[in-house]
Amino acid sequence: MSSGSEVRLAVLLLFLVFGCTTTQPAPEPPKKIAVSDGWLAMGTFFEADLRVRPDEAGAARIWLERARLEIARLEGIYSRHDSSSAVSALNRKLSQGEIVQKGARLEPELESILFSSIEVWQGSAGAFDITVGPLVDIWNAAAKQGKWPTQEQLREAKSHVGSEGLILLGDGNLGLVKSGIRIDLDGIAKGAVLDHLRKGLEAALPGVDALLSFGQSSIIAIGDPEGAGWILVVRSRNPSGGELATVRLRNEALSVSSSVGSVREIADAQISHIIDPQTGSAVAERVEAIVVAERATIADAWSTALLVLGANAAALERVEGVGLEAKVLDSSGRSMRSEGWESVVPIRSPVDEVHDNPR
């Protein structure tokens, strides 16, 4: 056989061996399905919308049951409304002055949330303060009696307010340098719970897409469902206020705080329930604030701080200084947004076009 014939025979044999083999396209991953649930928790309604593979549906339902128990456990740490909670026990020690001399041992979850609270207190120049309770008491009593608080009453209350009085010593220890302090975690606890739930969910179901929320006030979005993110419409607490913003979240948290509709009357004058910890006064403007952050704990605290700081350039500079995005609106019609706000807006809404003040 000639060498040419040998080559043709070799090619023919290769074709017979491999010619019938075709490259098959990789199978598409199964389309994710929704597994969801919701229940009353922490004074509002908790909702979980999980997007998982069909074979993960059972694991998702198991996680939801565990989440119900975990939220109740954390509420038993953070809630000042529960006399048996860890923060209530801590407040009793604070009121008795024990910690000034002896210090206190904190549970890990309580230590963590106090660290975050002090972080935002520092960043907001005291606009967010978990020790504002004595001032809130003075204004609540004034509204009940229908008479303005005296300067002496406000000075006395302010002497017991200030997160600078809390000293976190590390290793779960708390020191105190100011007496009469009381801790209220209402403005940050829901975010802390969402951050905690996120860690457990991502460990139990890697690759999950999920939206976890306590109403509109505290939301965390996990993953990027179908490459479109989680699209959320934020509406005003004022029934006639309409839409405030449309945002797209991917592995981010959103918090919305509002002083709209939450007013009291003293001597025929309406006052906000939001108190400025620095001045001791009730905030005059009606403000709504939206904050987007990596952590729900931080988003919650900053949206509360912005009710005090208001819709102005100085407030937005503080937000940008800690790497957050925010939009703030007040009752005068003014609307301010951070420099990077467009990064979380999928479609520029008419609200943005008409009212936003570019910076």
Tens digits of per-residue pLDDT, 37-47?
999 999 999 99
**Those residues with Cβ within 8 angstroms of residue 253's Cβ, 6 or more apart along the chain or in another chain:** 191, 194, 195, 218, 219, 220, 221, 292, 293, 294, 295, 296, 298, 299
Given a cut of 60, whether residue 108 has pLDDT beyond it is: yes
Rounded distance, CA 319 to CA 142, Å? 33
Question: Averaged over 169-196, what is the pLDDT?
Answer: 86
User: β-pairing, 263-266 with 325-330?
Assistant: unpaired
* Mean pLDDT, all residues of the chain: 86
CB 209 within 8 A of CB 225: yes
Given a cut of 60, whether residue 287 has pLDDT beyond it is: yes
Tokens of 38: 């919701």
Domains and CATH numbers, the chain: 96-176 (1.10.3980.10)
Percent share of the chain, pLDDT over 90: 64
**CA 61-62-63 angle, 5° bins:** 90
Instruction: Look at the pTM and tell me if it is higher than 0.95.
Output: no
Residue 6, pLDDT score: 45
Gyration radius of the chain's alpha carbons: 27
Residue 234, pLDDT score: 95
pLDDT band at 266 (very low <50, low <70, confident <90, very high): confident
CA nearest to 72, candidates 59, 84, 61: 84
CB-CB neighbours of 140 under 10 Å: 13
pLDDT band at 13 (very low <50, low <70, confident <90, very high): very low
Tokens of 316: 């937005």
pLDDT band at 323 (very low <50, low <70, confident <90, very high): very high
CA nearest to 255, candidates 116, 352, 144, 139: 116
Given a cut of 50, whether residue 24 has pLDDT beyond it is: yes
DSSP-assigned letters across all residues of 234-296: EE-SSTTT-EEEEEEESSEEEEEEE-TT-EEEETTEEEES-B-TTT-PBP-S-EEEEEEESSH
CB 189 within 8 A of CB 79: yes
